[in-house]
Structure 1
Amino acid sequence: MHVKFCGFTQLSDVQTAAQLGADAVGLVFYPPSPRAVTLVQAKTLSASVPAFMSVVALVVNMHQDELIELVNTVSFDIIQFHGDETPEQCQQLASSINKRWIKALRINAEQHTPDSVRAQIDKFAAAGASSILLDAYHPAAYGGTGQRFDWNLIPQDSSLPIILAGGLDAENVAATLDLPIYAVDVSGGIEKDKGKKDAAKMRAFMKAVKRDRWQNATLSEPSNLSS
């Protein structure tokens, strides 16, 4: 299980995430979001991220010229398409800046089944996505709502590694251990206010994930250690 903390706006919060061992930090480049950052802010934030920790740029229906300006200003590793982008558009945009990419799918119990989610994932896999992110659907927002969707809709045999988002916090992240996912993505569940992280909540989240990692590794070890 890998961990991405998303929606950073303050340097001290990024530094805390790094100290706690998060695998990735997400920066939001979508002006309507309360967690959005400017290019100037993002340049400072990304520069503070240590080696071997990924910076993810979250964009929503961003035009190619804006994306090129972004990559020429801010150092980041992966682009996360969180809007209405088609598989072909994602691949074309990511290729224009030579970056690996993730696509977020908003899951709605009234519209989706595990089979339909799997079919959507297959299309983005064929276009070259590195992973898929599953988040809760909301009619008035592209994400960051803190709502949780029905995890029974997560397909068991996805063609891409699945990142789970939506309504996660230190209290419920342990329940994701048995799900067929690769990573968890949290924003609101580690905040004291929009875009302002809570160090204690971040620490509790990482502690819950690491505890489950340790327990899972222990259960997976051979019982006969004498050989």
Structure 2
Amino acid sequence: MKVKICGIKDVNTALQAVEAGADALGFVFAESKRKITPQKAREIILNLPPEIEKVGVFVNERKLVMEEIAEYCGLTMLQLHGEEAPEMCEGFSLPIIKAFGISSEKDIEQAMQYPVSYMLADSPKGVYRGGNGVSFDWSILSKTSLREKKIILAGGLTPQNVADAIQTVRPYMVDVSSGVESNGEKDVEKIKAFIHNAKGERG
């Protein structure tokens, strides 16, 4: 199982997440308590192994701005987390992850209209789009055929529930942010526990 740790803000946490087995790290460039500057993201990314996916998270941003930040920072994927239209997801130089808040099968039908390989299934938006620590009914995803999409499961995942979530949804990847934090900051021990449980390692 692939694991993405989102909302990375410092080199130490990034490197410890990678050492623990993270496959992807997310950098939030939209309004959020986890927002990072392109300069800081670049500094972190320069220290990361090449095989780690570096995902830039954007909300209703202009395509040119996203491409410029991606090139400057060394991003390898872009995650669109706003109300972007299907046509907005075409013509990028990098793979696109499109995020959707899932509350019914109708939301999945909408997601299928998007020309992207990666669909991030998240909880319906709260104060911020994503990172709200609330899960949704995973069985909605298990009932629906999404064969042509790689599902990235997010929304309220924790070290305690990630194994059950994986068993229910069988996603391509799981994505966590607030579920591995303590007092609003990334907690390395929680990151290690999350990755351990997601990958099914029984030590």
Q: Could you tell me which of 204, 209, 223 is aligned with 2:193?
A: 204
User: What is the CA–CA distance in structure 2 between the aligned matches of 1:61 and 1:193, rounded to whole Å?
Assistant: 28
Displacement of 1:190: 0.8
User: What is the CA–CA distance in structure 1 between the aligned matches of 2:160 and 2:112, rounded to whole Å?
Assistant: 32
Residue of structure 1 equivalent to 2:23: 23
User: Does the 8 Å CA contact 1:146/1:167 hold for their aligned counterparts?
Assistant: yes
Displacement of 1:165: 0.3
Residue of structure 2 equivalent to 1:43: 42
Stretches of structure 2 lacking an aligned partner (at least 5 in a row)? none
Amino acid at match of 1:50: P
User: What is the CA–CA distance in structure 2 between the aligned matches of 1:181 and 1:72, rounded to whole Å?
Assistant: 29
Amino acid at match of 2:128: A
Displacement of 1:68: 3.1
Q: Could you tell me which of 150, 166, 175 is aligned with 1:185?
A: 175
User: What is the CA–CA distance in structure 2 between the aligned matches of 1:16 and 1:148, rounded to whole Å?
Assistant: 26
Aligned residues: 200
Matches within 5 A, 1:1-227: 1-30=1-30, 32-92=31-91, 94=92, 98-108=93-103, 112-113=104-105, 116-124=106-114, 127=115, 129-154=116-141, 155-158=143-146, 159-178=148-167, 179-194=169-184, 196-210=185-199, 212=200
Displacement of 1:13: 0.2
Amino acid at match of 1:197: K
User: Does the 8 Å CA contact 2:8/2:34 hold for their aligned counterparts?
Assistant: yes
Displacement of 1:24: 0.3
Residue of structure 2 equivalent to 1:218: none
Displacement of 1:180: 3.2
Structure 1 length-normalised TM: 0.83
RMSD: 1.7
**SS of equivalent to 1:52:** coil
Structure 2 length-normalised TM: 0.92
Amino acid at match of 2:166: L
Displacement of 1:120: 1.9
User: What is the CA–CA distance in structure 2 between the aligned matches of 1:181 and 1:137, rounded to whole Å?
Assistant: 18
Q: Are the structure 2 counterparts of residues 182 and 213 from structure 1 closer, same or farther at C-alpha, using a change threshold of 3 Å?
A: farther
**SS of equivalent to 1:79:** strand
Displacement of 1:73: 1.3
Displacement of 1:164: 0.6
User: Does the 8 Å CA contact 2:156/2:178 hold for their aligned counterparts?
Assistant: yes
User: What is the CA–CA distance in structure 2 between the aligned matches of 1:137 and 1:6, rounded to whole Å?
Assistant: 17
Identity of aligned residues (%): 33
User: What is the CA–CA distance in structure 2 between the aligned matches of 1:53 and 1:60, rounded to whole Å?
Assistant: 23
Amino acid at match of 2:98: K
User: Does the 8 Å CA contact 2:126/2:132 hold for their aligned counterparts?
Assistant: no
Q: Are the structure 2 counterparts of residues 156 and 180 from structure 1 closer, same or farther at C-alpha, using a change threshold of 3 Å?
A: farther
Q: Deviations over 1:170-191 (max 9, x none)?
A: 1001102322311110001111
Q: Deviations over 1:54-112 (max 9, x none)?
A: 100111011123223212311011000000001111114x2xxx11111000122xxx2
Residue of structure 2 equivalent to 1:220: none
Displacement of 1:213: 5.9
